[in-house]
Amino acid sequence: MVELALVQENRVAVVRKGSSLRRMARTDAFFEALTRAAAIAVLGVLGGVMISLMMGAWPALDKFGLGFLYSQSWNPVTEKFGALAPIYGTIVTSAIALAMAVPIGLGVAIFLTEICPQVLRRPIGIAIELLAGIPSIIYGIWGLFVLAPLLQHTLQPRLVDLFQSVPVLSTLFAGPPYGIGVLTSALILAIMILPFIASITRDVFEQVPPMLKEAAFGLGCTTREVIRNVVIPYTRVGVTGGCMLALGRALGETMAVTFVIGNAHRITPSLLAPGTTISATIANEFTEAVGDLYTSALIALGLILFVITFIVLAIARYMLARIALRAGT
């Protein structure tokens, strides 16, 4: 009787275990299907956006052809449109912003993780995260009413006087100090993307194993040498990804740039002169677009911005893959 009871209990346990395994298998299959559907949905949305932009931009691209990409003309009255000035403004302002924000952001992250006293790390980190959460229109209003007048009366006149006899820099910093312009919009973008770079790189630096840094200190390395030879090489993939993410934010920024760039459809070598970007042009003129060709030209600008962002992200992925390949990971 005892043996029969044990056999029955074993059978019940086996049945329950089999039922549990089947239930887990069904749950795993459902979760796999759900995640696959989510991934396909993302691709579908991306493809839908691309197709919609291409359909809306087709009338302008069909009329102007490749000339739309290298023409500066933007005249809604005569319906002559060209995207060169917005493309130039988008690339230049984003590049200058990234060049200014990356060194400062890396410095802030290094200070917070390696040098800053423990009691100050949390308050400073919270302040940086709060900067990242400020709406872009607030940056634009501040730039228009505070930063632009300040630059007009202080920095820009001094730059003009300082570099007026230098061959290349005299061209980059020429003309009257308007306050608004390409340089001002680049400064605003740098301030906006700085918290993203600092936050991401700080989180990446904190993932460095303490054993590596302690070993370097044990060999007699200074803090600077540890940062240069241990921390940055170990985290270069994450740092590069954070910088590319910030660049994507700068390329698509609209309201802050619209307030301070001047919205002039022309290309000038001076960084103090007014200019425009793709997003600023769309934001300023889409509600006033009269006629199918005018609207199509604005949608074509959106398509170009989409392609530029895609190219930047593709280059970033390629760089990350090369870095990971050289690191042997």
Q: What is the pLDDT of residue 221?
A: 85
- Under the banding of pLDDT at 50, 70 and 90, the label for residue 24 is confident
pLDDT single digits (tens) 59-91: 999 998 888 888 888 988 888 999 999 999 999
Q: What is the pLDDT of residue 9?
A: 58
Q: Contacts by 304-310 with C-beta closer than 8 Å and gap 24+?
A: 304/69, 304/83, 304/87, 304/278, 305/90, 305/251, 305/252, 305/278, 305/279, 306/49, 306/50, 306/53, 308/87, 308/90, 308/91, 308/251, 308/278, 309/248, 309/251, 309/252
Judge whether residue 92 has pLDDT over 90: yes
Q: ∠65-67-69 over CA atoms, to 5°?
A: 100
Judge whether residue 160 has pLDDT over 80: yes
Q: Give the Cα separation of 144 and 256 in Å (integer).
A: 9
Q: In the CATH scheme, what is the code of domain 67-327?
A: 1.10.3720.10
pTM, rounded to two decimals: 0.85
pLDDT single digits (tens) 101-147: 999 999 999 998 888 888 888 888 888 888 888 888 899 999 999 99
Q: Which of 11-20, 43-52, 113-122, 133-142 has the lowest mean pLDDT?
A: 11-20
Q: Contacts by 134-138 with C-beta closer than 8 Å and gap 24+?
A: 136/192, 136/253, 136/254, 136/255, 136/256, 137/255, 137/256, 137/259
Q: What are the structural domain ranges in the chain?
A: 1-59, 67-327
Share of residues in the chain with pLDDT > 90 (%)? 34
- Under the banding of pLDDT at 50, 70 and 90, the label for residue 295 is very high
Q: Which of 7-16, 94-103, 229-238 has the lowest mean pLDDT?
A: 7-16
Q: What is the pLDDT of residue 3?
A: 54
- Under the banding of pLDDT at 50, 70 and 90, the label for residue 216 is confident
pLDDT single digits (tens) 162-214: 888 888 888 899 888 888 999 999 999 999 999 989 988 888 888 888 888 88
**Helices 236-252, 182-205: inter-axial angle, 10-degree rounding:** 150
Judge whether residue 150 has pLDDT over 90: yes
Sign of torsion over alpha carbons 94, 96, 101, 103? positive
Q: What is the pLDDT of residue 328?
A: 58
Mean pLDDT score of the chain: 86
- Under the banding of pLDDT at 50, 70 and 90, the label for residue 55 is very high
